[in-house]
Amino acid sequence: MMSEHELMSPNMFEVLGLSDEQKKQLGKVKENMDTEFKKQLDKMGEARSKWNEKSRAEFDKHRDALKDVQPGSEEWNKITVPIAQAARRANPDVVRELEAAFASSKALGEKLRIEMFDVLTDEQWNRMVQLIDNPPEYVKKIRRKWKEANEKAAAWQPGPNSWKPGDPIPEGYRQQRQERGKFPRINQSE
């Protein structure tokens, strides 16, 4: 599951049959990274807290629409996805801060991985690559669920007032188009 997590634990390598010396080396890597890790957790926690506050405020506006809907159901998703999108549009600074926190988590995770990978023998490295390339069935199942959840969250869905095929061209757009004027045309005979 390494590819699904920004940060990883040295405990993930236990399955590779680490020697006592390797465990000590991984412990040192962990100690060295501990301060950075704590700072990153604080940064991530702060960004998530701000996002949760802003998105909760948006969801509170729609509490009545959600009160009789089963969480996780298709109907729930039809209601909540546009609410979450509205929260993102209304709070771009908070979204940027959260995205920056995720990016720095990923960078820290990469740094930590490289240091941990350097502790492994060639045999252990090959075993790890084999596990990553041929994961157990339960891992495949978890990956599929995560992928489906991420695809649902990322898919754009039109809002309730969106233009739909067959609707007339919105008057506001017509006016805006007229105000822009026409593109200058070159006389074809010249």
Q: Is the pLDDT of residue 187 over 60?
A: no
* Single-letter amino acid, residue 121: T
CB atoms within 10 A of CB 184: 5
What would the two tokens of residue 76 be?
């729930």
Give domain status of residue 129, yes or no: yes
Does any domain span residue 184? Answer: no
Tokens representing residue 166 in the block: 């067959």
Q: Do 49 and 62 meet the contact criterion of CB atoms below 8 Å apart?
A: no
Domain contains 171? no
- Kindly state whether residues 128 and 109 are assigned to the same domain: no
> In terms of domains, do 99 and 31 share one?
yes
48-62 tens-digit pLDDT: 888 788 888 877 777
Element (H, E) at 188: none
From the number of C-beta atoms within 10 Å of its C-beta (0-12, 13-18, 19+), residue 171 rates as exposed
Residue keyed to tokens 């959600």: 66
- Answer yes or no: do 126 and 45 share one domain: no
pTM of this structure: 0.51
The answer on 26 and 115 residing in a single domain is yes
Q: Which of 93, 119, 145 is the last residue of a domain?
A: 119
Report if residue 185 sits inside a domain.
no
pLDDT in tens, 7-18: 566 677 777 888
| Structural domain boundaries, residue 142 | 122-154
| Residue 112 sits in the same domain as residue 23 | yes
Q: What is the pLDDT of residue 43?
A: 86
Looking at the structure of the chain, the number of domains it has is 2
Q: Per-residue confidence at 35, pLDDT binned at 50, 70, 90? A: confident
The answer to whether residue 164 is domain-embedded is no
The answer to whether residues 75 and 27 belong to one domain is yes
Same domain, 55 and 113: yes
**Residue 13 burial (CB count, 10 A):** 19
Whether residue 74 sits in one domain with residue 29: yes
| CB within 8 Å of 112: residues ≥ 6 apart | 7, 8, 29, 33, 37
Residue 148 and residue 99 share a domain: no
User: 88 and 26, same structural domain?
Assistant: yes
Q: Are residues 24 and 112 in the same domain?
A: yes
